[in-house]
Structure 1
Amino acid sequence: MKDFLNKLYRNHSLIYKVLLFICTTFLIVYLFPKSGKFKYNFEKGKPWQSENLYAPFDFAIKKSESEINKEKEDIINNGTLYFSIDSSIENKVKTAFKKEFTTNFSDTISLTSSSELYKTGIDIISQLYAFGVLNESYSFSEEKRIVILDERVKKQEGIYFDLIKLDKVTSVIEKVLKKHKLSSNKTEFVSLFYDLVEPNLTFDKSFTDKALQEELDKIVYARGSIEKQTLIVSKGEVVQGDKYQILKSLQSEYESQVWSKSSYIWILFAYTLLVALALLMLLLFLMKYRLSVFENNTKVTFIFFNIFLLIFLTTMVVNYNSKFIYVVPICILPLVFKAFFDARLGLFSHVITVLLLGFVVPNSYEYMFLQIIAGIVTILTVKELYKRANLFISVGQITLIYFIAYFAFFVIHEGTVETLDWKTFGYFVLCGLATLFVQPLIYVYEKVFGLVSDVSLLELSDTNSKLLKELSNKAPGTFHHSLNVANLAESSANEIGANAMLVRVGALYHDIGKMKSPTYFTENQSTGINPHDELSSKESARIITDHVIDGIEIAKKNNLPDRVIDFIRTHHGTSVVYYFYMQEKKNHDDVDRLDFSYPGPKPFSKETAILMMCDSIEAASKSLKEPTSTKIDAFVENIINKQIEEGQFLNANITFKEIESIKKVLKHKLANIYHLRIEYPE
């Protein structure tokens, strides 16, 4: 059991990557659309590219979306409105009229006139309540069909125009009075009925909506059917009209049948295989070409997280409305990866992500072409992300590429520019603006994942920062030495294509451990007193080598990134404090070399190797007396060749050719520092 646990512990990094790989695969597959994929590609108005297609099974021809929408619109426009009636209101108004009649009309009028007026009033009430009086006005069409319900039972039907609105009561009174030739009594009747008339009709919205829904539910979504083995379309035939609708029906039926039957598990398995294959290619790329990234679980997690995040965002947008698909800033991915890693990894990851998105988005070929081209442009144009102008220029170029590629695809599909959808260009502009969000996103990632980008390196290179200010105050000689080393290292890095910003920052902080005991280092001894004179060679060597450990402690206390701390660890490698080692050998024959050696490790990257060379050259150059070009050349060759002989660069991925280039830069720089003229051969 113990051996098993030890084995698990030794392989815990690999086990973590396997679990991460499996989880990411299943999460991505979960986001994929729950349907099969129709194996034929076709477009309206374009020739059928495949062989003759025969119906693989019986299926119904579905109506187009426009046809269904037209039917729905007709049903809604011709739908019936239902009103509930209170039948007691009419009798109530008649009773009230009878009671108020004698009060409102003078007793002095003749009996005949009184009888005529009373009949007229009853006629007015009958006219008002022939269909009913509405409790409020509605904005329905006058021709809209209506049904009046009494206790949910149909009483009568008509059109909305037949119903009396409250503002139409006066016109009904006038019409009846005119009919009875009693127009002179209009004022009395209007005044009387103004107080008597009550609405007896209420719009029954719930019943109307229910009836409308029942009509909508009766819509048939198919028109005709196709039998198995019927020829649907021939090779070269233009796909349009009924042919297009039949193909769309077959595609829909095929996808629904495939996904709903027993083959569900097989399709899910196939999706999983494809996603796993894509992610496996990414892992293999890391393992073969970016081993330092592959061995760092945090960085692998960071890469997989960003890929999943973009697939998740794109899926959400597609599910909401696929026309906004180009608003998702896919080019953020290569920008982020280039900021934290390099261009090659950024482009490879971008291509893998876009290939996976091909399962999610409509018009997958067009989408993948656009995004891959945009990703390439992103990698090629963004050189120094920490410069704001560069990011804006790059985003402008990316947006322009979107414009050009989309325009070309549209013309190919439609054959004209007259129907060009200008809204899509607006989506590309929004995508470009969203891409600018990469700057705050990089900052968030630095804090969450503990990574370092060129933006942070630029901040750390500021000599007015707290830690470098402290170094300049406590150890001014060391600070000056660090500045000189930074300049040499930056030039060397530029010469061989290494990360110049990273090596410059590493050079500025590589000797911060000397702040603990600054006077024990010659560059800080301004009084002429050397404290090493009172110490043994072994004690002096220990103080000198301890500045590496002290530097690491100070760096961690001040939250410097690990990439910068690596320079502090490795800038002396496992070399020997040669002066005190030789002093000890003069007095003792048996000397342990390890007592005078730095703890290491040896440099393990181009940048850390460059710093070791430049640090040694700059420090030793102070001892040059009457320097000449010949002396400087021999001096540089001797120091770097000695480091090579000691195997200090065995772990660094630096070539002999690159070392020779660095030697050339250092010779040129030292010649300029000492104001020497280059000696040309005769």
Structure 2
Amino acid sequence: MKKISDQLYRNQSLVYKFFLYVATVVGILYLFPKGGQFKYEFQKGKPWQYENLLAPFDFPIHKSNDEIAIEKDKVLKTVKPYYNYNASIQPIVEAKIEEQLENYLSDTLPAVVKSKIESVVANVYKKGVVVSFAKEDAGVINLIEEGNKVKEVKTTSVFKLSQLHNFVIKTFDKEPYADYTDHIYELLMDVMEPNVSKNENFTKKAKEEALSKISYTRGTVTSGKLIIVKGEVVEGEKFNILNSLKKEYESQLWSESNYTWIVVGYVLLIALVLLMLLLFLNKYRNEIYNNNTKVTFIFMNIMLMVFLTSFAIQYNVLYIYIVPLSILPIVLKAFFDARTGLFVHVLTILILGFLVPNSFEYIFIQIMAGIVTILTVSELYKRANLFISVGQITLVYLLSYIAFYLISEGAFSSEDLWWILGFFLLNGLITVVSAQSLIYIYEKIFGLDSDVSLLELSDTNSRLLRELSEKAPGTFHHSLQVANLAEAAAIEIGANAMLVRVGALYHDIGKMNNPTFFTENQKGSINPHDELEPKESASIIIHHVIDGIALAKKNNLPDRIIDFIRTHHGTSLVYYFYKKQIDLEGEAVKEEDFRYRGAIPFSKETAILMMSDSVEAASKSLKNPTYGIIDTFVEKIINKQMDEGQFLNANITFKEIEQIKKILKQKLVNIYHLRVEYPE
């Protein structure tokens, strides 16, 4: 038992990945449709690629969504809405009119006018009074009277309060009433109330009853009947029959007898896709694979996209085009790299292919959008870049979908097309709004860092850099110079310029512990190394790397920045003090006492910093530099680093190193303001 527990403890990272893998497979499986998969793939407007298809069993022909929508619309138009007639309103209104006529208008209106008003009101309320009718209710309504008696009434015969003014003018336009129309209108406006109101409950039930009588099928295909022959174009009735067979096949396949095997099939496919992801990370992105937080982050994002797509399908299948899947490669590229982002995006789309209809069309469109995302999204700390990239992604969405639509429909003839194009535009808007916010949230939750956080770290007014400028001003100035050199070199070879710049700004923060022991911070002729043994001096110089790492961790700098501190000297030799010790003791000096502990650079960015740092620091010793001196100087320093094997672990080529040399030479020439010497 102890051996097992020890084994589990030693392999806890692997155990965690296994449980994460299983949990993700189960989670995705739960979101999958409860049905089998039709074994034939077909698209409207394209030829049938398989052998002649005969009906395997009897099945009904389902009506298309457009046909059902038209039929529902027709049925709903035949349903007469229900309205309640409230007889108790009339006596209340008549009493109010009588009171008004006696108390307020007794001297204003003649008796004949009063009599006419009472007669008109009684007649109007007998037929019914309503505020107004909705446009769809115009025509005939079912009026529910006392005792739940229902009679059909034309809406034109019911008085509408919205037309009261015109009614008064028309009814009282003759003598002796014409002079009193304003008084009559004000009176009726104050006291009249509707006694006819819509009965929403009865109307809703009537509509539901009418809709329940609609048949969603028309006709039946008998077993053995020829459905389609090889090479025949899938369109019209053939398309409807194939869709009907697909629905019936999938519903019959998902039976108790087949349930277990279908689940096994889904599990194998999902497990295979996620296994490919783990193998990719293990082989090509080992630093991600060995970090369980990063693996969890990737798996969680895949689950999130599957959940959002599944959620959209439950409401309306067209809503899948609103799901901002391009956020996945944007986020992954921001935290990792383009290749990882595209690989994860493609695998996620393959999983989603089991969820969505027209899977080939969906997979093609989303993969194209993912490729454009990877190719266009860069330097997200520049706000305009995200807008431009999302605009290009949206354009690819629109063009791809229009192309598929024209192939299947042959013309712009469906309202759904404009809805889906609108959904793609909404997709782009959601992506723009949420991408930056999501990156920030992920940084805080998972402790990751993106170019956006690097931009914040590059602020020279940040607390740590300000402290460096105060305690070690020479080192701060050196770091700024190195940052400029390294950034230019990174741009030249296509490396991450922002990462290199930030790494350069912080690479020497360890010198704050003993600033005066470093030449750039010494004032006057006093040098504290004069009072120390060469070995002690070398130890202090070497220790600034360790001090820098400790200081960076204390101030919560990202691991990617700490890597620059750790590797910027690699395993190089503190040659000045090593040579000085040899002069004192002879050849018996231990070289390891004067060598940095490493590690050596393991990326283009860390290699660039090592070269830039060494060249900038050594350039301070140049006296009367010329083009030739600078050229020889840079070549000598970098070639020595190559001979020592400092760049063996960095994925940098000889060509790129030569490009970096060229840039460093140009920048040093600019720093020393070298000009062409004119003849006297």
Bin of the TM-score, shorter chain as denominator length? 0.7 to 0.9
Please tell me whether residue 546 in structure 1 is matched to residue 563 in structure 2: no
The residue number in structure 2 matching 1:95 is: none
1:520 aligns with 2:517: yes
Residue number in structure 1 paired with 2:23: 23
Query: Identical aligned pairs, as a percentage?
Result: 62
Does the C-alpha gap of structure 1 residues 307 and 82 become closer, same or farther in structure 2, counting only changes over 3 Å? closer
- 8 A contact 2:83–2:141 mirrored in 1: no
Structure 2 CA distance for aligned equivalents of residues 159 and 234 of structure 1: 55
Cα distance in 2 between the residues matched to 1:142 and 1:14: 73
Q: Distance in 1 between matches of 2:198 and 2:418?
A: 44
Displacement of 1:418 in angstroms is 4.7
Could you tell me how far apart the structure 1 residues matched to 2:550 and 2:343 are? 37
Residue 642 to residue 396, structure 1, CA distance change in 2 (3 Å): same
| Cross-structure match for 1:352 | 347
Matched, 1:430 2:430: no
Aligned match of 1:52: 52
**Equivalent-residue separation in structure 1 for 2:572 and 2:139 (angstroms):** 99
Helix, strand or coil for the counterpart of 2:367?
Answer: helix
Contact kept in structure 2, 1:83 and 1:202, CA below 8 Å? yes
Secondary structure of the residue aligned to 1:653 is coil
Report the CA distance between 1:17 and its aligned residue: 2.4
- 2:223 equivalent in structure 1: 228
Measure the CA separation in 1 of the matches of 2:141 and 2:362.
Answer: 48
TM-score, with length taken from structure 2: 0.78
**Aligned residue identity for 2:603:** S
Give the distance between the partners of 1:641 and 1:240, measured in 2 at CA: 69
CA contact 1:78–1:145 (8 Å) conserved in 2: no
Name the structure 2 match of 1:640.
Answer: 638
2:483 corresponds in structure 1 to 486
Show the 5 A alignment for 1:494-573: 494-573=491-570
Match of residue 326 from structure 1: 321
CA positional deviation for 1:239? 5.0
Contact 1:327 1:427 in 2 (8 A): yes
The SS at the match of 1:262 is: helix
What are the superposed Cα offsets for residues 21-59 of structure 1, whole Å, 9 maximum, x if unpaired?
222222222212111122234455665443322111222
CA distance in 2, matches of 1:651, 1:558: 28
Q: How does 1:359-438 map to 2 (within 5 A)?
A: 359-419=354-414, 421-437=417-433, 438=435
Question: C-alpha distance in 1, partners of 2:52/2:326?
Answer: 40
Q: Which residue of 2 aligns with 1:663?
A: 661
Residues 346 and 379 of structure 1 are in contact (CA less than 8 Å); yes or no, is this contact kept in structure 2? yes
Residues 3-14 of structure 1 mapped to structure 2, 5 A cutoff: 3-14=3-14
Counterpart of 1:38, as a letter, is: F
In structure 1, what is the Cα distance between the partners aligned to 2:643 and 2:235? 76
Which letter does structure 2 place at the counterpart of 1:505?
V
Structure 1 residues 632 and 40 mapped into 2: Cα distance closer, same or farther (>3 Å)? same
2:399 alignment partner AA:
I
1:313 aligns with 2:308: yes
Q: Structure 1 residue 269 and structure 2 residue 264: aligned?
A: yes
- Residue identity in the other structure for 2:431: T
Q: CA deviation at 1:478?
A: 0.7
1:331–1:435 contact (8 Å) kept in structure 2 = yes
**Whole-angstrom distance in 1 between the partners of 2:387 and 2:131:** 58
Given the superposition, is the C-alpha separation of residues 52 and 592 from structure 1 closer, same or farther in structure 2, using an over 3 Å criterion?
Answer: same
TM-aligned CA deviation for residue 205 of structure 1: 8.7
The equivalent residue for 1:111 is none
Q: Deviations over 1:346-372 (max 9, x none)?
A: 222222222222212222222222222
Question: Hey, what's the Cα distance between the residues in 2 that align with 1:296 and 1:416?
Answer: 51
CA-to-aligned-CA distance 1:388-431 (integer Å, 9 cap, x gap): 22222212222222222222222221212354632322222211
Alignment counterpart, residue 471 of structure 1, candidates 463, 468, 471:
468
Secondary structure of the 1:225 match is strand
d(CA) in 2 for partners of 1:239, 1:259? 26
Over 3 Å counting, the alpha-carbon distance change for 1:653 and 1:224 in structure 2 is: closer
* Secondary structure class of the residue paired with 1:26: helix
Question: How many angstroms does 1:482 deviate by?
Answer: 1.1
CA–CA separation in structure 2 for the residues paired with 1:462 and 1:213: 65
Structure 1 counterpart of 2:242: 247
Aligned with residue 296 of structure 1, among 291, 296, 299 = 291
- Mapped to 1, the partners of 2:197 and 2:488 lie a distance apart of 88
Equivalent residues in 2 for 1:73-88 (5 A)?
Answer: none
Instruction: Tell me if structure 2 keeps the 8 A contact 1:80–1:146.
Output: no
Mapped partners of 1:439, 1:397: distance in 2: 17
Work out whether residues 346 and 367 of structure 2, in 8 Å CA contact, stay in contact via their aligned partners in 1: yes
Q: CA-atom RMSD, angstroms?
A: 4.0
Distance (whole Å) between structure 2 residues aligned to residue 373 and residue 633 of structure 1 = 46
**Alpha-carbon offset, residue 525 of structure 1:** 0.7
Change (3 A) 1:658 1:262: same
Classify the secondary structure of the residue corresponding to 2:254: helix
2:651 equivalent in structure 1 = 653
Contact 2:517/2:529 (8 A) holds in 1:
yes
Residues 462-471 or 229-238, more deviating = 229-238
Give the conservation status (yes or no) of the 8 Å contact 1:61–1:222. Answer: yes
CA distance in 1, matches of 2:203, 2:486: 82
Number of aligned residue pairs: 606
Secondary structure at the residue paired with 1:623?
coil
The higher radius of gyration belongs to 1
Cα separation, 1, equivalents of 2:206 and 2:490: 79
* Change over 3 Å in CA distance of 1:81–1:622 after alignment to 2: closer
CA distance 1:44–1:514, shift in 2 (3 Å): closer
Say if 1:582 and 1:263 are closer, same or farther in 2 by CA, change over 3 A.
Answer: same
Segments of 5+ residues of structure 2 without an aligned counterpart are 89-122, 161-195
Pick closer, same or farther for the CA change 1:66–1:544 going to 2, 3 Å: closer
Equivalents in 1 of 2:392, 2:634: separation in Å? 45
> Aligned partners of 1:70 and 1:202: how far apart in 2?
29
**Is the CA contact (8 Å cut-off) linking 1:134 and 1:202 kept in structure 2?**
no
Q: Deviations over 1:624-671 (max 9, x none)?
A: 344444544444344334434444333333344433443343344334
What letter corresponds to residue 488 of structure 1 in structure 2? L
Letter in 2 for 1:33: P
* Letter aligned with residue 670 of structure 1: L
Moved more, 663-672 or 335-344: 663-672
* 2: CA distance, partners of 1:376 / 1:629: 45
In 2, distance between residues paired with 1:419 and 1:641? 67
CA contact (8 A) 1:485 1:614 kept: yes
Q: Secondary structure at the match of 2:257?
A: coil
What is the CA–CA distance in structure 2 between the aligned matches of 1:407 and 1:83, rounded to whole Å?
Answer: 47
Relative distance call for 1:83 and 1:317 in structure 2 (3 A) is closer
Partner of 2:611: 613
Partners of 2:508 and 2:544 within 8 A in 1:
yes
Secondary structure, aligned partner of 1:263: helix
Does the C-alpha gap of structure 1 residues 506 and 358 become closer, same or farther in structure 2, counting only changes over 3 Å?
Answer: same
Whichever residue aligns with residue 10 of structure 1, its letter is: R
Return the alpha-carbon distance in structure 2 between the equivalents of residues 138 and 627 of structure 1: 94
Match of 1:442 in 2: 439
What is the deviation of 1:302? 1.8
In the aligned structure 2, how far is the partner of 1:434 from the partner of 1:157? 51
Report deviation, 1:518. 0.9
The alignment partner of 1:265 has SS state of helix
Query: How much has 1:66 moved relative to structure 2?
Result: 6.1
